[in-house]
Structure 1
Amino acid sequence: MAITPPANRLWWKEPIHGVELGWIVIAFLWGLFMFFFMIAWHFIGDQNLSTETYRVKPAAYEEKVAAWAEQYQKIGADGEPVEVEGTPVVAPPEGGDVYILARLWEFWPVVELKKGVKYRIHISSVDWQHGFSLQPVNMNISVHPGYEHVINLTPTETGEFGIVCNEYCGIGHHTMTGLIRVVE
């Protein structure tokens, strides 16, 4: 309810002011531009993630990741397996497949990749829906149990990149992190 009613009760029949009409035209043209350019970005953009996804049984995926991690676990100069806070560090062969497992409340294992080498990253969950957010790159994927997502990734910078779960997954959600190291 307005404090004072409009002078003409049929306000929608009033002519549109020129400035208002100009803004309507600008908004409409901008909307059309963005719609068509989004289609162009799909074809010319390098930011699109792979749409390669497979059905997988969570227990079978967990076994595959464990076998892969055992095969390629990094061994230190002292002959002992390298670990970060009890999680094995795995260094896959250059250009190979990389497997990451999401489960309450961790991304397992820690992965060490080489800069400038293309890898196929496989990600799946064994329990709940999780979010895979690679920081500070800001790559985001919803990870579902029963689906193995495959991403083609070529690291362009060295350093440590954190993995954060960005889908609420329970009481330990805030502790669900992982790590990808990129070395020369």
Structure 2
Amino acid sequence: MSAILPPSERLWWKHPLDRLEATWIIIAFIWCMIMFFMMVFWHVYGKQNLATETYKTNPAKFMAQTQAFVDKWTVRTETEQKIPVVAPPEGSDIYLIARLWSWWPILELEKGKTYKLHLTAMDYNHGFSLQPVNMNIQVVPGYEHVIKVTPTESGTFSIVCNEYCGIGHHEMVSRLYVK
């Protein structure tokens, strides 16, 4: 009998289950239940998943908020594109824009202080990947992701786009400074 041909009897579900088949179905079901409850457990107690808030936004509104943030807290500019480096005080709402093929602005935060990071994309889907922390968020146009961030280490961290966004994707990197 070939698997391509239809079964000779159409009521295959009325046939008794082989013992080995039943064993594997039970094992698979038990494993699925373990994985389901472990996902819930690790989300609540493992502190491995980000609990983000997401809101609908429009690019013009978000750009205006980001520009006001940059105008208020810029301390210097870096790179040949003169990207502003922004150092806001503790508890501030901080804004970061993903657009072809850059992150704007560069953020300078303080260790041990909490901020609310607002992310959005202006054009295509982008991926926010903070390395070496391995924090990953898909940044979607029209949506604002809000994450509470408390840096625990000083240093320079890389922000990389990990969602292919076009021909200049490999250039979409930035920095995050933590003092």
Same fold (TM over 0.5): yes
Aligned residue pairs: how many?
A: 165
Pair 94,14 (structure 1): closer, same or farther in 2 beyond 3 Å: closer
Structure 2 partner of 1:118: 114
Hey, what's the Cα distance between the residues in 1 that align with 2:115 and 2:17? 62
Match of 2:91 in 1: 95
Structure 2 gaps, min length 5: 2-15
Structure 1: 4+ residue segments shifted above 6 A: none
Cα shift readout 1:67-94 (whole Å, capped 9, x = no counterpart):
21111011xxxxxx34244211100111
Alignment partner of 2:140 out of 144, 147, 151: 144
Q: Secondary structure, in 3 states, of the residue corresponding to 1:30?
A: helix
Residue type of the alignment partner of 1:126: M
If the length of structure 1 is used for normalisation, what is the TM-score? 0.79
Structure 2 SS opposite 1:164: strand
1:16-95 pair list within 5 angstroms: 16=20, 28-74=29-75, 81-85=76-80, 86-95=82-91
- CA–CA separation in structure 1 for the residues paired with 2:45 and 2:118: 24
- The separation in 2 between residues aligned to 1:150 and 1:14, in whole angstroms, is 52
For the 8 Å contact 1:54–1:149, the answer to whether it is kept is: yes
Counterpart selection for 1:171 from 167, 171, 174: 167
- Determine the C-alpha separation between the residues in 2 that align with 1:132 and 1:180: 12
Deviations 1:21-53 (A, max 9, x none): 5x7765554332222111122222322323311
5+ residue gaps, structure 1, are 2-11, 75-80
Task: Check conservation: 1:117, 1:154, Cα contact below 8 A.
Answer: yes
Deviations 1:83-133, CA, capped at 9 Å, x for gaps: 244211100111211100110000011100111111100001111111111
Partner Cα separation in structure 2 for residue 181 and residue 40 of structure 1? 33
> Is the Cα–Cα contact under 8 Å of residues 50 and 150 in structure 1 kept in the other structure?
no
- Residue 161 of structure 1 is matched in structure 2 by 157
Which amino acid is 1:65 matched to? T
CA distance 1:90–1:13, shift in 2 (3 Å): closer
8 Å contact 1:59–1:126 — kept in the other structure?
no
Q: 1:96 to 1:24 in 2, by over 3 A?
A: same
Instruction: Quote the Cα distance in structure 2 between the aligned partners of 1:37 and 1:50.
Output: 17
TM-score, normalised by the number of residues in structure 2: 0.81
For 1:109 and 1:13, the matched residues in 2 are separated by 62
CA distance in 2, matches of 1:31, 1:103: 39
Distance in 2, matches of 1:67 and 1:129, equals 24
Decide whether aligned partners of structure 1 residues 13 and 31 sit closer, same or farther in structure 2, where only a CA change above 3 A counts: closer
Aligned residues: CA RMSD: 2.4
